[in-house]
Structure 1
């Protein structure tokens, strides 16, 4: 299956496409099927060159049981960020294994909605107007040949990882001063634009701090922000 539309229309800010898929080899699909629960992708953030952290929220499942299952998955480091009696927010770091979220990111598409319920998955992504929609769709279809393209449409508005209004609201409530400085600098520099306009090392240099220090505060800020957004989305 292939969609060879070439580059997105320059007059459209973005193109959104949706796949339906079912792959029991994917950790988030496995969890949904095993626990008869809902697993929703919340956010993807960079973790250095060609590495990403994925955040998924799980509802209607015991978070300790979910974590125990994830810890047995080869090539996956999982951590429970926040949790309650019937779900939680998890961070996934993948090494040497496929994942639709990362496949999309590396093809130039920004994942916008990934959800699995009882073993089925719906995956929504968008490509900015300057991107190659056909290449992104074909890359995903090649990686997941059983997936079905169910829709493709043009939209307006800028493509960023974090919406500015949500970012600023969460900044006011949850972050320490150093975390606030780190994520504000990253946001203003274009670190969260898609494609990224600055690396973490460049932002750290601009702030005059060590890269490790910047990464520490930025990662803590990201986790708090994503937890806040996940809570808002789940209400």
Structure 2
């Protein structure tokens, strides 16, 4: 049966905290004094993920120095400025990462931030999953995690439908198209006046400006096709 207009879908929102130094984001913010914030999770094939974080208050070199201790995680600096660094983590199917573990358990991470050696995670669990089972699976993977809050929320559109739409859109893009679109969005390319140029973003991707614009236009065209193609 379809979702009736005007009806609501209930989800469980859970807030976690973890401060154990064995975990990357805990060590990163404790060691360097930076703050880290989740930007986006991109599912890949065979259980792998690409996770983008915004890091402020430290240098790209300091980030790379900490992350290189974690063999199961590959890292790349996507862009950097005086104020922030956008970092891409490649998580293999055997790698562990807070957000990917929650996703695999059936939750949808909506917020992740780390400051002063404490990671705060907020995730929403759609009603198609048992909240208790999802929480138990996450706590089994990360025993030191603490539950700070648990509450119910309601959406006029089922949350899992929103997630399915997001994943279907992302599946249309190649990795380079997604990277070009994300770089443009994160660096103010769509603001007015523009905060960065296509040439600067092409340099970040280590491609020529025409190649960057081709990736970006292809990504934009695919996104628009979802909206305007019937």
Match of 1:147 among 132, 145, 149: 145
Residue in structure 2 matched with residue 60 of structure 1 by the alignment = 57
Can you list the C-alpha shifts for 1:35-90, whole angstroms capped at 9, x where unaligned? 01111112211122311111111111112221233234211111111211243111
Unaligned 5+ runs, structure 2: 1-6, 192-230
- Per the TM alignment, residue 21 of structure 1 is displaced from its structure 2 partner at its CA by 1.0
SS at match of 1:45: strand
Match of 1:97 among 91, 95, 98: 95
Residue in structure 2 matched with residue 85 of structure 1 by the alignment = 82
Q: Distance in 2 between matches of 1:76 and 1:198?
A: 26
Q: Distance in 2 between matches of 1:227 and 1:55?
A: 14
Superposed CA RMSD? 3.0
SS at match of 2:46: coil
Q: Distance in 2 between matches of 1:217 and 1:93?
A: 17
Can you list the C-alpha shifts for 1:137-170, whole angstroms capped at 9, x where unaligned? 11111111121111111112343798xxxxxxxx
- Contact kept in structure 2, 1:63 and 1:85, CA below 8 Å: no
Match of 1:115 among 113, 121, 137: 113
Residue in structure 2 matched with residue 127 of structure 1 by the alignment = 125
- Contact kept in structure 2, 1:42 and 1:226, CA below 8 Å: no
Q: Distance in 1 between matches of 2:187 and 2:132?
A: 33
- Per the TM alignment, residue 222 of structure 1 is displaced from its structure 2 partner at its CA by 4.1
Question: Given the two structures, how large is their TM-score scaled by the length of structure 1?
Answer: 0.66
Superposition misfits of 4+ residues, deviation over 6 angstroms:
none
- Contact kept in structure 2, 1:35 and 1:61, CA below 8 Å: yes
Q: Distance in 2 between matches of 1:76 and 1:148?
A: 24
- Per the TM alignment, residue 223 of structure 1 is displaced from its structure 2 partner at its CA by 4.7
- Contact kept in structure 2, 1:36 and 1:117, CA below 8 Å: yes
Q: Distance in 2 between matches of 1:227 and 1:73?
A: 28
Residue in structure 2 matched with residue 31 of structure 1 by the alignment = 28
- Per the TM alignment, residue 114 of structure 1 is displaced from its structure 2 partner at its CA by 1.2
Can you list the C-alpha shifts for 1:173-217, whole angstroms capped at 9, x where unaligned? xxxxxxxxxxxxxx9xx452xxx56893xx58xxxxxxxxx4442
Residue in structure 2 matched with residue 21 of structure 1 by the alignment = 18
SS at match of 1:23: coil
Match of 2:181 among 186, 201, 221: 221
- Contact kept in structure 2, 1:78 and 1:91, CA below 8 Å: yes
SS at match of 1:49: helix
Instruction: Give aligned pairs, total.
Output: 181
Q: Distance in 2 between matches of 1:116 and 1:46?
A: 22
SS at match of 2:47: coil
**Which is higher, the Rg of structure 1 or of structure 2?**
2
More displaced 10-residue stretch of structure 1: 31-40 or 19-28: 19-28
Question: Given the two structures, how large is their TM-score scaled by the length of structure 2?
Answer: 0.68
SS at match of 1:13: strand
